[in-house]
Structure 1
């Protein structure tokens, strides 16, 4: 026994060294593949308990689970395109329609469907590939941000934790269903990487593509403004002034990031001839038939916590802002901190807080890099992974599984 132990340790060390010598992108993709296999097993198991509904037959399987919820709208876009007018009811009230959903992901699925794939398979493939690209990009983005402000060891640990937690996050099964989170995240990561490297032309093009993927392009303008202001201040301290061509590149990036947030609403207006086609259609999902800023958060806080709800909400938002501006998060850099602040501000302004909030929070992926920036944080990361996988089961069983005739959306 005493002779076998050193051999066992040697083999373990050899495997560990081989793992560390594997290109980091390959390691991230392996974690992503394992995470998606786990999610597939969870979806397949939950499918056994999926009731018969308009979306799924009795005895549903994994493939049937891919077409639930908003995947129905994306299938309609991929197969039939968009309506040429805003659908309205007999009383003139705007009805729910595909106009509330962005076109890039379903059109990519439509392209794959020309090979004979079903929409569910094509849409899931788009999400899987985009999610893989996003996972690799998250590691590169967070590593570059941390390496500029911390040691190489901190950068390695933080980037790894960000990528791993991105792959296993509770709503990560959305990376393998026909939804738009994965393509949007891949483009968002690409945009932030371009911004980090000062490649403003490619960043502008990526921002425009993101403006056709999900309604998350609006906060980009805030990030760009912060980035350009800090760059101008740094140049001023160094005694340098932006040249004419460089100034044009900066202005072009700012214009593109602003346009990205308006691109789909303007396109929907052009398609239907109604200037408020997008916002009016979005309102069809809201109480009262319109999008109201901030007020839904106030109401839900009172509903959940009673009279103290609004106070707790204000304190929570203030605490988050203070934390994001603290030395603890400074290691992420201005661009990533600006994104985390601007995106939360955007959610507070336009979102009706409900069960879909869990899915929206995956866009705060840079915060995963803070989990393992300190020495000895490996057990902490493992605990986060175990909790995330357990909550993934809860997310699928509670929210993705549909209980007819109506249920809470994922």
Structure 2
């Protein structure tokens, strides 16, 4: 009798092993894009469950009643600003308080995503509440395919799939299915980097123009492309840099630079105020734009006056060493330069706060570098589990609105 009982767990274990093996065999027979979309869709389902779980304990917020539905819950925070753009567009005059200071307004948010949803509404008739998050999720799925293709330029099919999974489970990846511009920007950035890696510089131009109308990443992209041109010219004896490629890459540099300025220029022409965009962007900070200084101030607030001033320098040194590590070098010079330019951009222009975590998403190629660290499934699985747990933390800590003692809450 005891022997029969002992066999049951082993039998169940074998059945599970057999089922998993059959499922794996079936999975590997699917086309690559079906594999990519299936894995990434599963990560979105996980994020959906996290949002539903956190929404169930959400109290009354500035956006509505307690325990909102999924679509109501993902429509808070900056989603509300994008909806205002979708409905009303942008103000002709920059709103100001009694002292003349710029107030928070729509000009801080780029137009491509809300205008895309408006166009889809014209065709489908669906309302923002449902159409915007579904559009963002669709853009995330497109991004997953493009990220896979980019990773395949540098890695095997298996490693590229792991890289896509890490991007999909990244702690802030839940934002890829809310009405933010992150998923659209991620798709355009992945497409631009893919074309650059393939040296299809002219084809990248229209993609970069659109990307610069989705989120403010044109400055680091233009800087990365400029340094890439210098690098390719400097190494032309070892790696031929034909005149036609030189001209095309130079054209991409010029267009990227002008595209980086497109949104501030549009805001200026529309409102008649030269600093309309920068004044609006810094309205959330409560102070003007000063390069690098916010990181020093944040460091001093955490570590004290001396250590705090040193901390950003040590952070920059650590980032530089990491970008020169063997695993990152395997990604290629184009990805190295983009990652370095974007990190420098964050260090120069960003006011460090809780939103900083979300702004790390454009560094998604480093997910493949994390895969390169070890071929061990135990290691890679552990990273995925850690990311999933941290995603729960991110949504519960930052997406759920809980009023602070002084008012407001930390933004996601």
Deviation at 1:90, TM superposition (A): 1.9
Aligned pairs (5 A) from 1:336-375? 336-373=335-372
Residues 226 and 334 in structure 1, CA contact (< 8 A), matched pair in contact too: no
Q: Which runs of 4+ in 1 moved over 6 A?
A: 1-8
- Aligned with 1:61 (options 56, 60, 69): 69
Residues 296 and 311 in structure 2, CA contact (< 8 A), matched pair in contact too: no
Quickly say closer, same or farther: Cα 1:51–1:142, change in 2 above 3 A. Answer: same
Residues 211 and 263 in structure 1, CA contact (< 8 A), matched pair in contact too: yes
Partner of residue 85, structure 1: 93
Aligned pairs (5 A) from 1:254-269? 254-269=253-268
TM-score (norm 1): 0.91
Alpha-carbon distance between aligned partners in 1 of 2:348 and 2:48, rounded to the nearest angstrom: 34
Partner of residue 57, structure 2: 49
Alpha-carbon distance between aligned partners in 2 of 1:26 and 1:198, rounded to the nearest angstrom: 27
Deviation at 1:24, TM superposition (A): 2.1
Partner of residue 119, structure 2: 111
Alpha-carbon distance between aligned partners in 2 of 1:256 and 1:70, rounded to the nearest angstrom: 29
Residues 137 and 190 in structure 1, CA contact (< 8 A), matched pair in contact too: yes
Alpha-carbon distance between aligned partners in 2 of 1:132 and 1:386, rounded to the nearest angstrom: 21
- Aligned with 1:94 (options 78, 99, 102): 102
1:164-189 deviation line (CA, Å, top 9, x unaligned): 01111111111111001100110000
- Aligned with 1:293 (options 291, 294, 303): 291
Alpha-carbon distance between aligned partners in 2 of 1:212 and 1:385, rounded to the nearest angstrom: 32
Partner of residue 410, structure 2: 408
Deviation at 1:11, TM superposition (A): 5.6
Residues 232 and 239 in structure 2, CA contact (< 8 A), matched pair in contact too: no
Aligned pairs (5 A) from 1:216-365? 216-237=217-238, 241-243=242-244, 246-288=245-287, 290-307=288-305, 308-365=307-364
Quickly say closer, same or farther: Cα 1:31–1:5, change in 2 above 3 A. Answer: closer
Alpha-carbon distance between aligned partners in 2 of 1:397 and 1:4, rounded to the nearest angstrom: 36
Partner of residue 164, structure 1: 165
**Is the deviation greater in 386-395 or in 309-318?**
309-318
Alpha-carbon distance between aligned partners in 1 of 2:301 and 2:29, rounded to the nearest angstrom: 53
Deviation at 1:239, TM superposition (A): 6.7
Quickly say closer, same or farther: Cα 1:3–1:399, change in 2 above 3 A. Answer: closer
Is residue 389 of structure 1 aligned with residue 388 of structure 2?
yes
Specify the SS of the correspondent of 2:261.
helix
Alpha-carbon distance between aligned partners in 2 of 1:297 and 1:128, rounded to the nearest angstrom: 33
Partner of residue 136, structure 2: 127
- Number of aligned residue pairs: 399
**Is the deviation greater in 56-65 or in 356-365?**
56-65
Residues 161 and 371 in structure 1, CA contact (< 8 A), matched pair in contact too: no
Alpha-carbon distance between aligned partners in 2 of 1:59 and 1:238, rounded to the nearest angstrom: 59
TM-score (norm 2): 0.91
Deviation at 1:58, TM superposition (A): 2.8
Partner of residue 189, structure 1: 190
Alpha-carbon distance between aligned partners in 2 of 1:3 and 1:401, rounded to the nearest angstrom: 44
Specify the SS of the correspondent of 1:371.
helix
Deviation at 1:260, TM superposition (A): 1.7
1:73-106 deviation line (CA, Å, top 9, x unaligned): 1001001111111111222111111011100000
Specify the SS of the correspondent of 1:59.
coil
Residues 158 and 368 in structure 1, CA contact (< 8 A), matched pair in contact too: no
Specify the SS of the correspondent of 1:145.
coil
Specify the SS of the correspondent of 1:32.
helix
**Is the deviation greater in 375-384 or in 68-77?**
375-384
**Structure of greater relative contact order (alpha carbons < 8 Å, 6+ residues apart):** 1
Alpha-carbon distance between aligned partners in 2 of 1:40 and 1:230, rounded to the nearest angstrom: 43
Residues 219 and 343 in structure 1, CA contact (< 8 A), matched pair in contact too: yes
Partner of residue 212, structure 1: 213
Deviation at 1:37, TM superposition (A): 1.1
Residues 35 and 168 in structure 1, CA contact (< 8 A), matched pair in contact too: yes
Residues 327 and 370 in structure 2, CA contact (< 8 A), matched pair in contact too: no
Residues 140 and 187 in structure 2, CA contact (< 8 A), matched pair in contact too: yes
Quickly say closer, same or farther: Cα 1:16–1:266, change in 2 above 3 A. Answer: same
Residues 226 and 250 in structure 2, CA contact (< 8 A), matched pair in contact too: no
Deviation at 1:30, TM superposition (A): 0.9
Aligned pairs (5 A) from 1:146-165? 146=155, 155-165=156-166
Unmatched tracts of structure 1, length 5 or more: 147-154
Unmatched tracts of structure 2, length 5 or more: 1-6
Quickly say closer, same or farther: Cα 1:375–1:72, change in 2 above 3 A. Answer: closer
